[in-house]
Copies of this chain bind each other. A is one copy, B any other.
Amino acid sequence: MPHRTAGTPPPGDLPHGARWEPPVYGRKMQSRSPASRTGRPRSATADAAILAATREALVELGWSKLTLGDVATRAGVAKTTLYRRWAGKNELVVDAVAELFDELELPDRGSLAADIEGVVLQFATILALPEAKSGLMAVVAEATRDEALRERIRASVVDHQKRLVVEGRTRAQARGELPPEPDPASADRTVDLIFDMVAGAVVHRTLVSAEPADEEWVRSFTRVLLHGLGT
């Protein structure tokens, strides 16, 4: 099963993909893509094998020592096949890591605090995986100089998480735990702020401080997020 961003392009985008000069959208699509096409189809098995091999290589070698030739060997495909499907290491790793975050959900635990603690713990668990740690931050670093890559990360990782923030806020407002927003623009800014605070804190805790974001830490974090430092 190929990754969502590849098999199912964002609705209303990329109806055709013949041209391929600058790495606009990292993943190379099957040329001449109007839904139907003739010829031998791409192996979906290879897709899964390549992404799994990429994660495996990330664990064993880390970002800097990961080579596409090595990934190809692990996946049992030719190196050229990799270059036919992805523009380079950056795009490949984004897709490989993005799959890890697909399972993020926001189960209703009855209160805003419990909801936050639950989803933050999920996020922290994923981020504790070595392939997530070394892979994700490396591509984020690369994305500072690559607009298309940043967009790719946003589409396949960030938006997925941000939706959880929106959902959690809606739920909390229905419970009366949060005041309704005055206008939509202000609501968007608040969502962005919360998202940066939550994801940023977990990432910083895990990667920079190199300490586990365990239950105790998550409880403290949630308390400050909801009630501030003063209490």
Taking Cβ atoms with an 8 Å cutoff, the residues of A that contact B are 62-64, 130, 133-134, 136-138, 140-145, 150, 153, 158, 177-179, 189-190, 192-197, 199-205, 207-211, 217, 220-221, 224-230
CB neighbours of A197 from chain B (8 A)? 197, 200-201, 204, 221, 224-225
CB neighbours of A141 from chain B (8 A)? 63, 133-134, 136-138, 140-141, 207
| Cross-interface CB contact of A230 among B138, B192, B195, B226, cutoff 8 Å | B226
A138-B138, A199-B200, A228-B228 given; 14 more Cβ-contact pairs under 8 Å: A130-B144, A134-B142, A134-B144, A140-B207, A178-B229, A194-B224, A196-B205, A197-B221, A197-B225, A200-B202, A200-B204, A201-B201, A203-B204, A204-B204
Contact B229 A229 (CB under 8 A): no
Chain B nearest Cβ from A101, distance in angstroms:
13
Q: This chain: how many copies in the complex?
A: 2
CB neighbours of A196 from chain B (8 A)? 201, 204-205, 208-209
CA distance A229 to B228 in the complex (A): 8
| Interface SS majority for chain A | helix
CB neighbours of A211 from chain B (8 A)? 192
Contact B138 A134 (CB under 8 A): no
* A137-B140 CB under 8 A given contacts A194-B229, A225-B228: yes
* A227-B225 CB under 8 A given contacts A200-B205, A201-B201: no
In this complex, what residue of B is CB-closest to A207?
B140
Query: Would you list 9 pairs from A and B whose C-beta atoms are within 8 A, ordered by A residue?
Result: A63-B141, A141-B207, A195-B204, A196-B201, A197-B197, A197-B200, A199-B208, A200-B202, A200-B208
9 tightest A-B CB contacts, nearest first: A200-B204, A200-B200, A137-B141, A228-B228, A138-B141, A227-B228, A62-B145, A133-B144, A200-B201
Instruction: Among A63, A189, A210, A211, find the residue whose CB has the most chain B CB atoms closer than 10 A.
Output: A210
Contact B200 A142 (CB under 8 A): no
| Cross-interface CB contact of A220 among B158, B178, B193, cutoff 8 Å | B193
